[in-house]
Structure 1
Amino acid sequence: MKKNLFLILCSCFTLFNLLNAKELDLKLLDKKDQSIIKISALTTVGDTNKLYQVLNEGLDNGLSVNEVKEVLVQTYAYAGFPRSLGGIGTFMKVMEDRKAKGIEDKEGKESSPLPENFNKDEYGAKVRAKLAGQDKIPEPSGYQLFSPIIDTYLKEHLFADIFVRDILTPKQRELSTISVLAALGNVKGPIAFHFKASMNSGWTKDELKEFTLVIKDCLGEKKAQEANSVLETLK
């Protein structure tokens, strides 16, 4: 009897939260953008209960199945395999439940085949330079000289193997990336770089200010303020 009462109370509390949830009134970021932010951030912190909800919302907001998968794969480069795989496992459950309800979701396009003789080192170096707002690939310096292997991984895997996949645009990938970094916290250097990379990919500063509002909505005031404090220092 006590167990049944507890379950009823939990269900009522969940229903109350859903009925009283306020939709963000944003002028610049569309619902798909907001879903990418939430999916990336909640995957990073491992909140699978909220993630389950926003994954459903993402599909309802027009993201394809393959786009959602790609966002979850993108998160691993910054949050690690455990969080990414946790998000993928949650998405598998979402898809199973939606199929049971008779919901047919758009699968979306697959990634295009790689061009012949694809030079990962060259491609990745060009992508990184473009994100940094540089017309030419700069000479190696700093960490690139101190630990050449991490530079190789960044160029050949992150900025080549991952970025060459055209299921998401570079602009969408940067939105996912800053969401992961905001969720991680205490990464001022990387999030400053990727805020600039986001602007170099097409996002405006006003749009990124709305990004911090979405972070506040799903992760709370502290994470949003930390990200916004870095954003405000950038031109």
Structure 2
Amino acid sequence: MAETQTLSAKQRAIAPIAAFAATGEMAHLDGALNRGLDAGLSVSDAREILVQLYAYAGFPRSLNALGQLMKTLDARRARGIDDLPGRDPAQEIPTGDALLAAGTANQTKLAGGPVKGPLFDFAPAIGQYLKTHLFGDIFERDNLDWASRELATVGILAALAGVESQLQAHIRISLNVGLSASQLRELAQDLTDAGDPAAGSRALAALDRQLAAN
């Protein structure tokens, strides 16, 4: 993608939704959800972002955020706004060995090579869970494209202090799936403009480190 390419209005809405869901700031999340739905995100898009959240910020944040989405949608319906429903995944999610194979392939493609190292030798179960569940069960769901999933993940990780290495990894993955540096700078600015300048600063710092390393 060209360096000057910009995010669409729908894409720009994703990171703030994910960030405020991750930090549990419901008033800000309500505002971000309204802006995203107004920009054309479907109910399915918003729901999928908040379901994926649990893999990075835990079930409690995900469940609370999904509850807020329901409240936001109810309030919009009361104002006469009929949001687009979106769609469920079109493809069947594999199981068993086929799920492990699909997740391993997805992880390898996203990361740009096989993911391995001392941590996964020390705790092989976590590597298995990443392959079968995160990169299998979740990334095989085709109702949200990989670029959108990475915008959400960067938003989540940028909002959380102390996860810089994971944020760095997903900045790299974002570039691998075709997002440009200028688009990621937009994401950082959108986080700041939405009310989380610390998240914006973390995202921008991670991007600068990645570009310096390339």
Q: Same fold (TM over 0.5)?
A: yes
**What's the CA shift for 1:34?**
1.6
1: CA distance, partners of 2:45 / 2:66: 12
When the two structures are superposed, what TM-score results if normalisation uses the length of structure 2? 0.90
- Deviation by residue 1:36-76 (Cα, 9 ceiling, x = unmatched): 11110110111111111221121111011111100111111
Give the aligned partner of residue 207 of structure 2: 231
Decide whether the 8 Å contact of 1:183 with 1:219 is kept in 2: no
SS at match of 1:151: helix
1: CA distance, partners of 2:126 / 2:79: 45
Whether 1:78 and 2:61 are equivalent positions in the alignment is no
2: CA distance, partners of 1:47 / 1:116: 35
AA aligned to 2:55 is A
AA aligned to 2:188 is T
Give the aligned partner of residue 45 of structure 2: 67
**What's the CA shift for 1:114?**
1.4
AA aligned to 1:121 is L
2: CA distance, partners of 1:99 / 1:175: 27
2: CA distance, partners of 1:67 / 1:89: 15
AA aligned to 2:102 is Y
Kindly, what percent of the aligned residue pairs are identical?
Answer: 37
Q: 1:129 aligns with which of 103, 108, 123?
A: 108
**What's the CA shift for 1:81?**
0.9
Whether 1:186 and 2:165 are equivalent positions in the alignment is no
AA aligned to 2:50 is L
Runs of 4+ in 1 over 6 A off after TM superposition: none
Change (3 A) 1:179 1:116: closer
Give the aligned partner of residue 151 of structure 2: 175
1: CA distance, partners of 2:94 / 2:57: 31
Give the aligned partner of residue 65 of structure 2: 87
- Deviation by residue 1:170-199 (Cα, 9 ceiling, x = unmatched): 111011000000000221211111001000
SS at match of 1:114: coil
Q: CA RMSD in A?
A: 1.8
Give the aligned partner of residue 154 of structure 1: 130
* Structure 2: 5+ residue stretches without partners: none
Give the aligned partner of residue 166 of structure 1: 142
- Deviation by residue 1:99-128 (Cα, 9 ceiling, x = unmatched): 222221111111124166671111111111
Change (3 A) 1:66 1:148: same
When the two structures are superposed, what TM-score results if normalisation uses the length of structure 1? 0.83
Decide whether the 8 Å contact of 1:128 with 1:159 is kept in 2: yes
2: CA distance, partners of 1:116 / 1:182: 31
2: CA distance, partners of 1:183 / 1:164: 25
* Structure 1: 5+ residue stretches without partners: 1-25
SS at match of 2:135: helix
**What's the CA shift for 1:27?**
7.3
AA aligned to 1:163 is F
Change (3 A) 1:65 1:115: closer
AA aligned to 2:49 is V
SS at match of 2:60: helix
RCO greater where, 1 or 2, for CA within 8 Å and sep 6 or more?
2
2: CA distance, partners of 1:132 / 1:80: 22
